[in-house]
Structure 1
Amino acid sequence: MAALPHAPFPRQMVQPVRVAVVDDSVVVRGLLSKWLSETSGIEVVGAFKSGREIIDALPGVAPRIILLDLDMPDMDGITALPLILAKSPQSRVIVVSSLSVHGAELTMRSLMRGATDYLPKPSNHREVSTSADFRQALVAKVLAVGGVRAITRAASPAVPARPPVAPPVARSPFPATSPIQRIPSAASPVAPFRQPVPASAAAPADRSAGPQVRPLERVRPKMVVIGASTGGPQALVLTLGRMKNLIARVPVVIAQHMPPIFGSIFASHLKQHAGLPAVEAVEGKSLQPGTIYLAPGGCHTVVRRKADGQHVIAMLPSEARGPWRPSIDLLFSSAAEAYGNEALAIALTGMGRDGTEGALHLSRRGANVLVQDEASSVVWGIPGSIAEAGLASSILPPEKIGELAVALLEGQAP
């Protein structure tokens, strides 16, 4: 197999990312260790066959990242996870598990108990050893969670400090660079949905003084859209927990990057841990206040306004937009189209730039976009890209985002 190109290692990082591999399979341990050791900026500090072995080695090996299998003899990953975090609180745990229903349930349970992220593992050793996609995803996650940011600043969009505010249901034209795509129709005619405006459509902003925050619009939201990726489940619980008493007033739609099998499981865990009415989004479902709709994993979910004024869920084919599933850009842009400045967007921790184009679309309609701050983010990719494009109305940790959202919902924004 041809070697993958080394990911760039930022100048500000003096030490390589220290990684420990924990898996009961000698083949998997060997492959993961080899791939990571061949990557610039990564140092493998140990390979262990059980949860008990890694716990005994802590904190001596001092890994920044621990790749943790869940199904192991002696001590499995679920049992080991809280002990690992207690003994080495500075470590980030990335769960590497199968995509079976059982594996997905265990993975989601681990994310709710403190794991930072997960990586779906191919079902057998042959697929592990031959999957270039798995190897590339492994390296990318380790570098990102280890502190390597991947934001393309030169291409980031910019908007004026206070963009013109359009009426919530107005259909004022957008730039010619924004192609129109109609969402697959249900029974009723709907307003057209526009793809996000390309980042190249706007000139780059001057960021010499750091991210520029847009003035907060004093608009009471009628719906909330949230995008998240790496580290998202825990950030979502923190954010929504502060909004719990006011979620009854608005529908909430979430795009959390995840494989298809995780959708309903994540909705169940979100309901259990946050005590909130969370369901997996379904095509054509009417948006109801007091319900959290979770975009199915691997499927793009958007919102639309029908001719009769009703707002519903709609699904787009998975190939409709880029590599991220579900797309935050598509969700944010559809909310801008359907709700205008009465949409409230929240961007939480995650890899990549998904959501920046959608935030541009929202900002041009006068909607508020709240983003998670760098200090509390596992990876400041998604929120950082929006912030550095000058599209954020506020940059806060998850709990404070929830509190500000409550103030906006109560019509008491600062």
Structure 2
Amino acid sequence: MVTGTSGATAAATAQGTDSLRVMVVDDSVVIRGLIGRWLEEEQGISVVGSHRNGKLAVDDVDRCEPDVIVLDIDMPEMDGMTALPLLIQKRRNVAIIMSSTLTQRNAEISLRALSLGASDYIPKPESNSEISTSASFRRDLTAKVKTLGARRRQRLGLAQPDFGSTNAAPGRPAAPAAPASARAPAAAATLPGQSGASAAISLRPYSSVRPRVLAIGSSTGGPQALQTVLKGISATVLRSVPIVITQHMPPTFTRILGEHITKATGVEAREGEHGEQVQAGRIYIAPGGQHMLIKSIGGTPTIELNDGPPVNFCKPAVDPMFESITATYGSAILGLILTGMGHDGAQGVKMIAGAGGSVVTQDEETSVVWGMPGAAAQTGMCSAVLPLDKIATTIETVLKGGRP
């Protein structure tokens, strides 16, 4: 691992010239050491800089040329929020992952950082001992670094790092094909910015039934995408149906996300509560750490919070929510998959399509990560794959009972 400014070139050479270049910025020497060691143990990653505050990182970023920066929020001399715009200004399109302990203040700051150009965030366990023993923190951090770094390289047309896996590229997993019995008449669509086997995506017609619910799944890049889409839909249409959202987020973050969406749209958005009846005109967000299902109780759509195990390594997860609403709303469902890592939601997309509903997904070019929407699109069960700025208009048209 490189500490300060010495040895960066040697480290990169040792891992290979196409290795993902990562800078770690944290005021704790223990945390810097742990994260640096974890990342260097991964094939295809080189830690090219390790700094105790934002000022040192800003001063060194031109020389290190990182693809990814793991940036702590609370640091002396220059904190992460002050350093964030300076790092982005100096290093075009760098992927910055904000790192902070799980407090209400830091959750608010992390979400604000996304609006200022950070790519993602990761909550740290409270103590150094918890961090050193947390397999999930290590796994999540490594996955975010690989996915966001590879995505940056792809957008700039640079060589991709070799992570030593034969699977799909990080953030772009292939979803298994839907069974033939679930397929509707489909048309092939060529998506912008794609080539090869992934260029042709089969699309199915929209449902002939007007939706009675809008169900959304999102992850990395989701908070900003959600606000962009929901702000683009008129308040009258937003209030015409209930909106249920599963965004991959830890506790505390989801409550604050609801506050941000409420301010952006003027429509009440908050965490769903167990046993709460689902009503038009409200936006329900799955609470961090719990799956949110929509069940029919006495003929009324009702929220059920589930503390079961993670699904697709996620809790809350999109698939359980999507699967649960099919039994409640049948063909009167409009689903939406926005930017995110992994393939959560792909199985639920098949369930919605199998029940006769419709699904729209975000396209690759405008996604921070085309994992979830890509996996959904590759099922052949979606009705449209659209850039972010076109989604709101389409959703509004469909919710009004029209067809784009």
TM, length-normalised to structure 2: 0.82
Distance 1:124 1:339, change over 3 A: same
- Map residues 13-52 of structure 1 onto 2, 5 A cutoff: 15-52=18-55
Q: 1:105 and 2:108 equivalent? A: yes
> Do 2:174 and 2:374's aligned partners in 1 also have CA atoms closer than 8 Å?
no
Q: 1:144 and 2:147 equivalent? A: yes
Q: 1:297 and 2:288 equivalent? A: yes
Q: Deviations over 1:223-277 (max 9, x none)?
A: 1010011111111111111124320111101001111232212211222344432
Q: 1:355 and 2:355 equivalent? A: no
Q: 1:163 and 2:184 equivalent? A: yes
Q: Which residue of 2 aligns with 1:132?
A: 135
> Do 1:109 and 1:269's aligned partners in 2 also have CA atoms closer than 8 Å?
no
Letter in 2 for 1:26: V
* CA-CA distance at 1:313 after TM superposition: 1.4
Q: Give the Cα separation in 2 of the matches to 1:158 and 1:149.
A: 25
Distance 1:159 1:289, change over 3 A: farther
* CA-CA distance at 1:305 after TM superposition: 2.3
Distance 1:277 1:153, change over 3 A: same
Q: Which residue of 2 aligns with 1:267?
A: 258
Q: Which residue of 1 aligns with 2:88?
A: 85
* CA-CA distance at 1:159 after TM superposition: 4.6
* CA-CA distance at 1:325 after TM superposition: 0.8
Q: Which residue of 2 aligns with 1:172?
A: none
The gaps in structure 2 that reach 5 residues or longer are 1-15, 151-168, 186-196
Q: 1:372 and 2:362 equivalent? A: yes
Q: Which residue of 2 aligns with 1:188?
A: none
Secondary structure at the residue paired with 2:57?
Answer: helix
Q: Which residue of 1 aligns with 2:201?
A: 211
Q: Deviations over 1:282-325 (max 9, x none)?
A: 11212222211111001010112233x32221112232745311
Q: 1:345 and 2:366 equivalent? A: no
Q: Deviations over 1:96-153 (max 9, x none)?
A: 1111333223222323433221112122222223333322222111112222425553
Distance 1:154 1:278, change over 3 A: closer
The count of aligned residue pairs is 360
Letter in 1 for 2:280: P
Deviates more, 1:60-69 or 1:375-384: 60-69
Q: 1:67 and 2:80 equivalent? A: no
Identical amino acids, percent of aligned pairs: 42
* CA-CA distance at 1:209 after TM superposition: 5.8
Letter in 2 for 1:302: L
Q: Which residue of 2 aligns with 1:253?
A: 244
Deviates more, 1:278-287 or 1:212-221: 212-221
Deviates more, 1:90-99 or 1:148-157: 148-157
RMSD of aligned C-alpha atoms?
A: 2.4
Distance 1:159 1:50, change over 3 A: farther
Q: Which residue of 1 aligns with 2:122?
A: 119
* CA-CA distance at 1:334 after TM superposition: 1.5
> Do 1:210 and 1:388's aligned partners in 2 also have CA atoms closer than 8 Å?
no
> Do 1:247 and 1:290's aligned partners in 2 also have CA atoms closer than 8 Å?
yes
Letter in 2 for 1:214: R
Q: Which residue of 2 aligns with 1:333?
A: 323
Equivalent of 1:405 in 363, 385, 395: 395
Letter in 2 for 1:363: A
* CA-CA distance at 1:208 after TM superposition: 7.1
Q: Which residue of 1 aligns with 2:9?
A: none
Q: Give the Cα separation in 2 of the matches to 1:86 and 1:152.
A: 32
Q: Give the Cα separation in 1 of the matches to 2:257 and 2:198.
A: 40
> Do 1:70 and 1:77's aligned partners in 2 also have CA atoms closer than 8 Å?
yes
Q: Give the Cα separation in 2 of the matches to 1:103 and 1:324.
A: 21
> Do 1:283 and 1:315's aligned partners in 2 also have CA atoms closer than 8 Å?
yes
Q: Deviations over 1:51-98 (max 9, x none)?
A: 222223344433221111000111111222233333334111111111
Q: Deviations over 1:40-61 (max 9, x none)?
A: 1212221122222222334443
> Do 1:298 and 1:318's aligned partners in 2 also have CA atoms closer than 8 Å?
no
TM, length-normalised to structure 1: 0.80
Q: Give the Cα separation in 2 of the matches to 1:150 and 1:62.
A: 23
Equivalent of 1:240 in 208, 230, 234: 230
The gaps in structure 1 that reach 5 residues or longer are 1-12, 165-206
* CA-CA distance at 1:394 after TM superposition: 0.7
Q: 1:276 and 2:279 equivalent? A: no
Q: Which residue of 1 aligns with 2:57?
A: 54
Q: Give the Cα separation in 2 of the matches to 1:78 and 1:357.
A: 38
Distance 1:251 1:64, change over 3 A: same
Q: Give the Cα separation in 1 of the matches to 2:339 and 2:171.
A: 13
Secondary structure at the residue paired with 2:350?
Answer: helix
> Do 1:211 and 1:390's aligned partners in 2 also have CA atoms closer than 8 Å?
yes
> Do 2:242 and 2:278's aligned partners in 1 also have CA atoms closer than 8 Å?
yes
Deviates more, 1:390-399 or 1:65-74: 390-399
> Do 1:349 and 1:379's aligned partners in 2 also have CA atoms closer than 8 Å?
yes
